[in-house]
Structure 1
């Protein structure tokens, strides 16, 4: 077999995207296609007492008007095992959040549908909404993720600790906000349904649609070869997807339903706010003795989402004998939350890494040194060696590249004229995630490969790195490999999320490639004309479109020669990958690790914060393509700047209406907010999968906010525990 290498190449899908030839779901058209527009609730809690649809139905071109309570029946979606899908839409008249879908209009054009949707009038019987985590009426859900952990006796250890640091930290609701609007195009052919959808998990959409309409999953095809970003918003099957299919069945025409930007804020999830309380105990020489970390976050009143833990990082990030981490949810009249890039860990690291910074200052110990003294050499909970870990190298190299050791550690001690200068850092221990995955590989008589799976590429570079991996495994050039993704007619694949796709799909492709090479060897096993007769995949190397003896590359033949001689047009093999269990390998699976170093400039009079520099050193296991991996870290880091300084989804506390549901009001980083970003990769191939990768799609965001917050403290002497860090909090 071939040896995998780190290779910089341009994105293989780049030419299609830059020339406008990449088929995104919102671009799909069918002859005679109709358009749907949504009607949304203007109250946050209560029920609809009735509708007046006469004016809407009178709009020219309107084909159907459907309202809550009179819509066709939709079954609840099946449980995915990771989380449950939101309840099906328009099945009752109860209102549980502002902006809830209560009706649907279908018309010949989007303009007609939009006009008619605004003319649907609803009567309401409102009740007082539960909108705040501190509202005593909010129902509490204890340990919703099954992630609460206790080892040792944290409370007792905190009571006897030499030093205790920490406090109350908060992060706000944030909205994923990919640039591309989510859209679904649905078309029925008898009882068979084809859907083009903005999704990070086509197989899940297929299963949800099949369940909703009571048809076999084999009769549903979901296509998402290109997705214009998702950041977690495309992981669940949202109500508009079901409504598009419902509308297409009602009017017996293909239907497109594209969300508006305000609808994106209420219809496809958001990162839920958190209120965290953390206390860290330590000895005077900086050895951690106890961590107690609690978090509460909102969940929708009718949603049973199995989401992500915020506090787990405190039980695995550092060596500490006594740890308690607890997560709770409060049911509120808010839109359904979901994952957002770096889920759980982004919020949890903010509290943990800022509290560690506070502890370092209390002890008079350098923040980097504090983390090194408490480095977890083995998995603290499993008591197993890590499958790989280069976090110490991340700290050392990051501090040197950044110039950390040259700083004056005293708060408010570094200035450039009227500008306060601050240095801050944070460590990152991101979770490991991998799921079962299937892939199929074919080589034809021209020596070209076609490798495919139902997985999506949401812009992370999956097309590129999987093409590279396939080419390396099969001994082909990159331009000889075609990658097929985003089609449920292809072998089953998991979601594109949790930074697990590279390991999941890569392992499946590794399996398929190995089996395909073995299939060629089986083909010539009794072929007296073949120099490969009687060999196995372990005996050969693949290079330049041929297989050859590993100890004598001159003895071999090409794929084309083997197929020609046996008069076969092609040869195909399937591969699958199931994640190993820690007890099987005697290893704790390691996600990516990182160290972040930030320099901020704060206007001493105005309190305006600018990020001047960010250095990220990342242990991502084997990096298949440093160019695309670096791009992922840069993109995540920009999101981290937004989390630290800008992003907050604001809900009116009286009405439950999102007050800033546009790009004009919801602040996200632009070029002027982003400095030059230094990204370095360290570490070795991981031992928990055959490809040696970890996935770096999300670790780029985690740790940025606390590094910036800690730098702001160093610059100003003010500890900001509530994100985002805005001028009013510094004045």
Structure 2
């Protein structure tokens, strides 16, 4: 019997399938869209952070060349607040009131023939305000506190008893600043009405949510709205919500009766599409002299906008699941400030929480005289500490071991300020981290035509993470085709519904749906030949065959089978299609705790002893991300996240002045890493396929960033002997 080997499609470092289009400039981003008769919109923003609009004079703007409309709270149509999503609330509708709650809030929109005319006219709108004192600081006693936005403080065991049993108690406060997502692509919306039907091209990470929000706002059926986002120029979480500018573009298009394009400027990106919220965290850790943890108390406070609840992201949960500590309490609070709305940013919650936890563990290791890696291994959580179930997969121990070996960790002199090279202080630091598990229901549809080509599609977006590529590979693998025989359709609400591209959950969600659609499509071909006496596949099910090289072959005799083309030709069918859906399993159903990715970071920094200038010299990341579908794109995600982590550690901080204005809202003033800030990055993948989804994957989009900042901070302490507990680690904090 001859066995036909299945070609290896998954795991290989395949080039991006969308690379040629992007390199040629032909990938259609929202800002590239044009319609006949399209006009442009520009925003008018508040120049105060709190108060009321008491008068708006639009006469100069209305008389400006090319202006078609000036829309303000005085003449804007009434629209509804978009319905809540399963994850968070949508923002209040724009231009529906005269109250000002943050600097940069939209108070008007100007529509004109050209973007230059709209921008010039927007400057001519005169707005009179009645300001009030803004609440801008977490420690302002006027700030309203939202206690425990998660419903109840999370406890495990007897925390007070755990501290009483401790030989050593560490107590420290850590601070992380506001940071801004800053994708390269400026967010843009193009809206075109045809009667009551609306087509929107938008820089969104969740087209289905945008469609639902616009349908709710304008009281039209979702079936009458199509949202297109086949390519998005980055998001980092900024595109997860339906922001006011998207609603305003649709409003303006309806009012002027022409398609409207609205593109945010870079300063508007700082106030209009969210940011990572600052945190102030307090950590108390109790331990015995041998390093065994007895208690953890982790408290955090972060800002939330005055009237926009958005998603509350737990910062402290990392302490509940990170280590095998029997007694833990997690307390998250929010305080309402007159600031632009915070939102998710790459590694939300876990990035800030791990900075505090992993720095505190490093400080505890020094206090106990135990190596930082050894301390973590002594408290390794073999099962999920909260659920008491075995992990669906976990190779964090291997991350520590492989990372320490590759980095040469055991050659480290543990004494701070003891290592020098070429006149600079050398520091070695590390951190062990995880990212929360997220998977959502998803649908996909797969078709194969008479040419043996597949078309697989879903409404999901690709924000540059490689979704087009890995889903093409997965589809080819499941259908027994070459990747060049698969066309992937994404970013269109006319396609099967999909969850947000966020939370590192898309590969598992969409991958599981494509797995199901592919299986159902193979079964559809077998159903077509179920009574076909000419078919060697008659009477078989999908479990009885393997798809290889464009054909279905019997498992009991691989020499017998037939191609998709042969089946379609004989039955006079142009194509065959099937749907597939994925719904994440529940832990109690599988008896497993769902595991997100894990990683260990090992960092070497060089610090100038005279100037205290910090440079990251090398960085090793060892990552457990389950089955890797494409090592090239997965490594790229880890590298990109690591660069973001370097920015978080050393550079990034969104600065708000005493008036509530963001003072560094440009790429000239908001510092992000450049090539000179980034060393060669060593990335290693370990671990086995995860058991919580049929594809075996875990996300890699955010684990690349989480843990980089504390590893760098710990290395800086080792180099200098000075502990900095606030980010970014600027030289003035070391002086």
Does residue 663 (structure 1) correspond to residue 704 (structure 2)? The answer is no
Does residue 489 (structure 1) correspond to residue 485 (structure 2)? The answer is no
- Find 1:36's aligned residue among 30, 35, 41: 41
Alignment partner, residue 271 of structure 2: 266
Alignment partner, residue 498 of structure 1: 503
SS at match of 1:285: coil
1:527-542 → structure 2 map (5 Å cutoff): 527-542=532-547
TM-score (norm 2): 0.99
- Runs of 5+ consecutive residues of structure 1 not aligned to the other structure: none
Alignment partner, residue 346 of structure 1: 351
Alignment partner, residue 398 of structure 1: 403
Alpha-carbon distance, 1:726 to partner = 0.2
SS at match of 2:123: helix
CA distance in 1, matches of 2:717, 2:18: 43
- Find 1:686's aligned residue among 680, 687, 690: 690
Alpha-carbon distance, 1:70 to partner = 2.4
SS at match of 2:34: coil
Alignment partner, residue 701 of structure 2: 697
SS at match of 1:557: strand
- Find 2:112's aligned residue among 107, 110, 120: 107
Indicate if the aligned counterparts of 1:618 and 1:680 stay in contact, CA closer than 8 A: yes
Indicate if the aligned counterparts of 1:131 and 1:656 stay in contact, CA closer than 8 A: yes
Of stretches 95-104 and 60-69 in structure 1, the one that deviates more from structure 2 is 60-69
CA distance in 2, matches of 1:101, 1:166: 43
1:120-519 → structure 2 map (5 Å cutoff): 120-146=125-151, 148-519=153-524
Indicate if the aligned counterparts of 2:168 and 2:287 stay in contact, CA closer than 8 A: yes
SS at match of 2:515: helix
1:607-646: CA deviation from partner (whole Å, max 9, x where unpaired) = 1000000000000000000000000000000000000000
Indicate if the aligned counterparts of 1:74 and 1:213 stay in contact, CA closer than 8 A: yes
1:498-546: CA deviation from partner (whole Å, max 9, x where unpaired) = 0000000000000000000000000001100000001100000000000
CA distance in 2, matches of 1:687, 1:250: 52
Alpha-carbon distance, 1:433 to partner = 0.2
- Find 2:676's aligned residue among 672, 683, 694: 672
Alpha-carbon distance, 1:381 to partner = 0.2
SS at match of 2:559: strand
CA distance in 2, matches of 1:50, 1:726: 44
1:585-608: CA deviation from partner (whole Å, max 9, x where unpaired) = 000000000000000000000010
CA distance in 2, matches of 1:133, 1:418: 41
Indicate if the aligned counterparts of 1:4 and 1:473 stay in contact, CA closer than 8 A: no
Does residue 559 (structure 1) correspond to residue 550 (structure 2)? The answer is no
SS at match of 1:119: coil
Alpha-carbon distance, 1:163 to partner = 0.8
Alignment partner, residue 10 of structure 1: 15
- Find 2:721's aligned residue among 713, 717, 720: 717
CA distance in 1, matches of 2:422, 2:55: 65
Does residue 61 (structure 1) correspond to residue 70 (structure 2)? The answer is no
Alpha-carbon distance, 1:418 to partner = 2.6
Indicate if the aligned counterparts of 1:148 and 1:312 stay in contact, CA closer than 8 A: no
SS at match of 1:314: helix
CA distance in 2, matches of 1:680, 1:567: 50
CA distance in 2, matches of 1:5, 1:11: 13
SS at match of 1:715: helix
Indicate if the aligned counterparts of 1:181 and 1:261 stay in contact, CA closer than 8 A: yes
SS at match of 2:558: strand
Alpha-carbon distance, 1:223 to partner = 0.1
SS at match of 2:182: coil
Alpha-carbon distance, 1:156 to partner = 3.0
1:694 and 1:421, CA in 2 relative to 1: closer, same or farther beyond 3 A? same
1:390-417: CA deviation from partner (whole Å, max 9, x where unpaired) = 0000000000000100110100000113
CA distance in 1, matches of 2:150, 2:29: 34
Alpha-carbon distance, 1:155 to partner = 2.7
Which segments of structure 1 move beyond 2 Å, counting only runs of 4 or more? Answer: 1-5, 145-148
Alpha-carbon distance, 1:4 to partner = 7.1
CA distance in 2, matches of 1:98, 1:79: 25
CA distance in 2, matches of 1:5, 1:136: 56
Alpha-carbon distance, 1:553 to partner = 1.3
- Runs of 5+ consecutive residues of structure 2 not aligned to the other structure: none
- Find 2:652's aligned residue among 647, 656, 661: 647
1:209-258: CA deviation from partner (whole Å, max 9, x where unpaired) = 00000000000000000000000000000000000000000110000000
SS at match of 2:262: strand
Alignment partner, residue 633 of structure 1: 638
CA distance in 1, matches of 2:206, 2:147: 28
Alignment partner, residue 706 of structure 1: 710
CA distance in 1, matches of 2:336, 2:354: 24
1:613-632 → structure 2 map (5 Å cutoff): 613-632=618-637
Indicate if the aligned counterparts of 2:458 and 2:491 stay in contact, CA closer than 8 A: yes
Of stretches 509-518 and 547-556 in structure 1, the one that deviates more from structure 2 is 547-556
